[in-house]
Amino acid sequence: MQETYYLNETFYTGKAAWQILMQSSDKLIIVKFVAPHCGSCITLKPVLEQLATEYADRLHLVEIDMVEETELAIALGIRNAPTVVLFQQQQEQARIAGLKPKKQYLEMVQQAL
């Protein structure tokens, strides 16, 4: 069964959503790589969701479990959770590994806009 993705949404999960957005959307794509039982990942979630809501007309937020998607994580050089990667026009523009203050994520987005 093929999943349906709507490009006007802001929040997505999984590798398939990321791949479709990379090919089909002209918005910024923020990918948050997480791991099960990662406390920092849980702490970061509302921070990025608030940021994505504030910039909903300009970006998508995708959460990918790096344990379930090990091959993708390895291919992108993801070693720690959480790691946030910003893509623009199918190219990586910025990366933040580990839990950082909200200001750093905000600056990452603002610099790309």
Q: Which residue matches tokens 């940021």? A: 51
Provide the 3-class DSSP secondary structure of residue 101. coil
CA within 13 Å, CB half, 5: 19
Is 25 a residue of the active site? Answer: no
Is 98 a residue of the active site? Answer: no
Q: Which of 17, 21, 29, 41 is catalytic?
A: 41
> Is 60:29 a contact under the CB 8 Å cutoff?
yes
Q: Which of 29, 30, 38, 62 is catalytic?
A: 38
Provide the 3-class DSSP secondary structure of residue 55. coil
- Active-site residues, by number, are 38, 41
